[in-house]
Amino acid sequence: MPAELDWALVHDSAQSLHEELVSLLENTSGMIPEEKWFSVLREKGNVGSASIWLMLDGLLASGRVKSGQRILCVVPESGRALIGFMMLEAV
């Protein structure tokens, strides 16, 4: 499935969380090349539940999204070790 993705919007709110997520993806053959990752964490900060909407807005505003591309949204919740996923297709 990683090869089928065009973008991964990943809200990794801390370097340790980023490293853990990368490790999990690599260990399960699910690694998405980091050049496909998109985040606004550095620009917007850790904005919690608004992160996914700000990432979608930022990616769309960048002009890099094309019709038919698949976008995986990943929002880990570090306090409870939960991860939310959402798959979108650009139209």
Alpha-carbon distance 12 to 19, whole Å? 9
- State pTM to two decimals: 0.79
Alpha-carbon distance 90 to 26, whole Å? 26
Per-residue pLDDT tens for 34-47?
A: 889 888 877 887 88
Q: Quick one: how far is CA 36 from the chain centroid?
A: 9
Partner residues linked to 77 by β-bridges: 82
Per-residue pLDDT tens for 44-69?
A: 878 877 888 999 999 999 999 999 99
Under DSSP, the state recorded for 29 is T
